[in-house]
Chains A and B, each alone.
Chain A
Amino acid sequence: MALPDAEHTFAALADRMRGAVAFDARFVGIYSGGAWIAERLQRTIDGDHPVGFIDVSFYRDDFSRKGLKPEVKRTQLPFEVEGATIVLIDDVLYTGRSVRAAINELFDYGRPARVELAVLVDRGGRELPIEATYAGVRIAVARDLSIVLSRGADGRLALATEAGGA
C-alpha cells in the first residue's frame, strides 16, 4: 500500500506542535524511531526542549511470550522528570502498548506534571485507552502489516510496510 512521505509527515507533525507545545517541554523519544524524531523535533521547534530516550524493553507486557529483544538500549533522561512537562515521542502509534510501557518507566524517574504524546503516524488499532496529542498523519493500515521507519545516511526519514503485525 502507498504510505505518506515521511518528510512531509514530519513537517506536518512539527506544524501541529509549534505554538501548542510548552516552551520548556522535555522531549522523550522511544527507541529507535521515536528517538530520531525527538532529535529532529528539538532542532525544528523553538523553545528549551532537552531530549531524552526510553527503551521500553524492561516494561513490555509481552516479555513472557517474546523474551528480551537482542539489543536493549540504555534509557537516558538527562533532566528532572519530577514536575516536568514531558512529550513522549514515537514513530508509529498502534496498540498503545509501547506507550503504556513508556509511561510506566517514566514514572520510575519521578512524577511529571503532564505527559503528552506525539507520533509521526497514528494507524489506529488501539488496544488501550491511549491517544496521541499530536500526530503527523492518521491512516488505516491492514492488521497483518507493520509500518517501519528508517533513517538514511543523509538523515532523511522514510516509511515502509513489512509483513507481520507490530
Chain B
Amino acid sequence: MRNPQLNAAGELTHLLTLEGLPAEIIVRVLDTALPFVSIAERDVKKVPLLRGRSVFNLFFENSTRTRTTFEIAAKRLSADVINLNIGVSSTSKGETLRDTVDNLVAMNADMFVVRHAQSGAPHLIAAHLNRTGRAHVHVVNAGDGRHAHPTQGLLDLFTIRHYKKDFRNLTVAIVGDVLHSRVARSLIHGLTTLGTPEVRVIGPKTLLPAAVQSLGVRVHHDMREGLAGCDVVVMLRLQSERMRGALLPSTGEYFKHYGLTSEKLALARHDAIVMHPGPMNRGVEIDSAVADGERSVILPQVTFGIAVRMAVLSILAGT
C-alpha cells in the first residue's frame, strides 16, 4: 500500500507522521521554514500564499498553544482560519467523524488541522478523503493520542539544526515521560531518518514504552549516566492528566531523579542546548534556573514552530 501521506508522484499531500517519511521531504520542510522565520521579523508579517484558502482547525482535544500556533501560521499565509472545538459540539450530539468531515468539505474546506485524543484519527480522515476522491483537501496531524505530533517533531528538528547545523555527529537525549509522549515518538523518527548516530531515552521503567529500543534508541534509567556527553537535551512534560494508576511515587521524587537541574546539565557537553515542547512544569521535570538559563532554547522553539507550520501548510497547499 502507498504511504497515505504521499501522492502518486511521491509529494507530501497530508502530514500524519514522521515515521516512514523520506529524508528529502523532511529536509524540504526545514529548508522552506527558513525564509518564513524572517517574515515574522518584518512590519507586515504576512505573505499572500494561501489567500482565499480555508484552513479548519479541528480540535477534538483541547490545546491552546498548538491551536494558536497553527492559527498564526495560517493567518500569516493569508488563509482564512476557522476554529472548531469539536469536543463540545457535533460529536456530543452523536455525529460520526466522517460526517463531520463531509460537512466541512461541503463548506469548501481546503485543509484540516486535526488534534484528537485517539491515535489514528487524522489518518482515518485522510484515508476517507483519499478514498472518496477528495485528496485535494489536505490533513495535518496536530497530535493524535500517544501516536504522533509531526509538526512538533519538525520544529524540534529545525531548532536542533539551527543550533547544531548537522545531525550526523550528534548525541540527543530525550528525558522523561516517553510513554505518553507523541512528541518523543515523532522526534525519534525524525532524528533517525536524518542520520543522528545516537538517540537516548532517559526515564523510569514505568514511563518508557515496553519496546522502546525497537525505535533505535539507547535506554538509560540513570539520568546522570544518560546525559553524559549529550549535545541536545529534550525534556518532556510529565503528563499527569494522562496517567492512570500509580506510575510515580510523587512529583517531588520524580524531580529528584529526572528533573533537569544546572548540576545535572553540567554532565552534558558544555555547549548542549535544552529543549522542551511546553507547557513546562517548573520544579517537576525542569528547574527554573535551567528553563530560563542561557542554554535553554525553549522560546526560540515556539518562534520556529510558527515558521515550520507555515512551511508545512504551504507545501501541502501547493500539491
Nearest CB in chain A: distance from B308 CB, A:
14
B165 lies within 8 A of chain A by Cβ: no
Q: How many A-B residue pairs have CB under 8 A?
A: 51
A interface vs B, CB < 8 Å? 55, 57-59, 63-64, 66-68, 70-76, 104-105, 108-110
Nearest CB to that of B314 among chain A residues?
Answer: A68
Contact flags (1/0) for B42-59 with A, using CB distance below 8 Å? Answer: 111011110000000000
Pick out which of these stretches binds chain A: B29-37, B218-226, B227-235: B29-37
B residues in contact with A109, CB < 8 Å:
42-44
Output the least CB separation between B265 and chain A (Å).
Answer: 33
- Whether B315 lies near A68 (C-beta < 8 A) is yes
User: Chain B nearest CB: distance from A148 CB in Å?
Assistant: 22
**Can you name the residue of chain B whose Cβ is closest to the Cβ of A110?**
B43
Contact among A64, A66, A68, A76 for B32, CB-based, below 8 A: A68
- Enumerate 19 A-B pairs (CB-CB under 8 Å) in ascending A order: A59-B47, A59-B48, A64-B317, A64-B318, A67-B317, A67-B318, A68-B49, A68-B315, A70-B28, A72-B31, A72-B32, A72-B34, A75-B38, A76-B38, A108-B42, A108-B44, A108-B47, A109-B42, A109-B44
Q: What chain B residues lie within 8 Å of A57 (beta carbons)?
A: 35
Can you add 4 more A-B contacts, CB < 8 Å, to A67-B11, A73-B35, A74-B38?
A55-B35, A67-B315, A67-B319, A72-B32
Query: Cβ of B43: which chain A residues have Cβ within 8 Å of it?
Result: 108-110
Q: How many angstroms between the C-alpha atoms of A105 and B35 in the bound complex? A: 13
- Contact check, B38 vs A63: say whether CB atoms are below 8 A apart: no
Which residue of chain B has the shortest Cβ distance to A107 in the bound complex?
B44
When the two chains form their complex, are residues B31 and A63 in contact, meaning their CB atoms are under 8 A apart? Answer: no
A113 to B47, CA, bound (A): 22
Which of the residues A64, A74, A108, A110 comes within 8 Å of B46, measured between beta carbons?
Answer: A108
- Chain B residues touching A, range: 20 to 34
* Given known contacts A108-B42, A108-B46, A58 and B35 CB-to-CB distance under 8 angstroms: yes
Q: Which residues of the partner chain A approach B317 to less than 8 Å between Cβ atoms?
A: 63-64, 67
Collect the chain A residues with CB atoms within 8 Å of residue B34's CB.
Answer: 72, 74
Inter-chain contact A104/B48, CB cutoff 8 Å: yes
Bound complex: CA A67 to CA B136 (Å): 13
Evaluate contact between A72 and B48: CB separation under 8 angstroms.
no
List of A residues within 8 angstroms of B318 by Cβ = 63-64, 66-68
Chain A residue nearest to B11 (CB atoms) is A67
Which one of B32, B35, B46 contacts A75 once the chains associate, using CB atoms below 8 Å? Answer: B35
A108's nearest neighbour on chain B, judged by CB, is: B44
B50 — nearest CB in chain A belongs to which residue?
A: A63
* Separation of A20 and B48 alpha carbons in the complex (Å): 34
CB distance from B47 to the nearest CB of A (A): 4
Measured CB to CB, the closest approach of chain B to A100, in angstroms, equals: 12
Determine which residue in B43, B315, B318 has the highest number of CB atoms from chain A within 10 A of its CB, and name it: B318
Name B51's closest neighbour in chain A (CB-CB): A63
Q: Which residue of A lies closest to B319 (CB)?
A: A67
Chain A residues, CB < 8 A from B38: 74-76
Please measure, in the bound complex, the distance between the C-alpha atom of A73 and the C-alpha atom of B319, giving whole angstroms: 20
* CA A93 to CA B183, docked complex, whole Å: 47
